[in-house]
Amino acid sequence: MLEAGQRALDVVEFAVAEMESSGLYVAGRGSAPNTAGYVELDASIMDGATREAGAVAAIVGVTNPIRVAKRVMQETPHVMLTGQGALAFARHQGCSEVDDPGTYYVLPVGVYANEIHEQKHGTVGAVALDQSGGLAAATSTGGTFGKLEGRVGDSPMIGAGTWADDDIAISCTGTGEHIIRAGGAISIAYKVKAGATPEQAIDEMLAEVKRLGGDAGIILVSGSGKIVMAYNSEGMKRAAVSASSPLVVATFA
């Protein structure tokens, strides 16, 4: 898509929607129910060139929350819609809904039935730099397993789980409460603006997450094409490719 000249914003939406629909990850189809017994989803997307952004939190019954988030950005004056209001908006926009939650949702790869009430987490994200120099980021999650009804983490929060501007695009994964308290994606962007390298900025943010008792992972692409994928946990499912570097796919170091 990037080679064909498509915008970074459309590429990150497509990538995240594919991961949501796959059921392989803790987002979209691979999400687990909250303590009230039903699935709530969070997602956000941001266009670096315009700083336009959209998000949904605690939305129920849509197949691709990232597509709803993009519609929020494009079709409303708001940045975030939540709960019933987000679902009503999605329906008004004709977004795809889940027909039968009992058969639609599946356990993602690496998660077992006895773990869905534990405080495990997972997120999908994408960042992209297009041929015009445009940057974009998108993030989506089903939240932590065993979460309370209505819980919202960093993923739908612009500046926490997702950030894009003229110079950088960032998506975060990990324990959302700790990422929020550590400053999140925007803290990395501001450190880079102040002169830090992306690697240094990410390391400082991850160290703060760790100090607060959590773990996290970051994917980042800069306006110069630098790609950084870093984490302070045992592993992070990740992949990257560019016009100047071959495809990289990994989970562990």
Angle at which helices 8-22 and 65-75 pack, to 10 degrees? 150
**179 and 162 Cβ atoms separated by less than 8 Å:** no
Give me the DSSP letters along 102-126.
HHH--PPTT--GGGTTS-----EEE
Angle at which helices 65-75 and 83-92 pack, to 10 degrees? 80
User: Facing residues of 54 across strands?
Assistant: 45
123 noted as active-site residue: yes
Pair of tokens at residue 73: 């950005």
Determine which one of 63, 123, 141, 144 is catalytic: 123
Pair of tokens at residue 131: 């041929």
Active site residues: 123
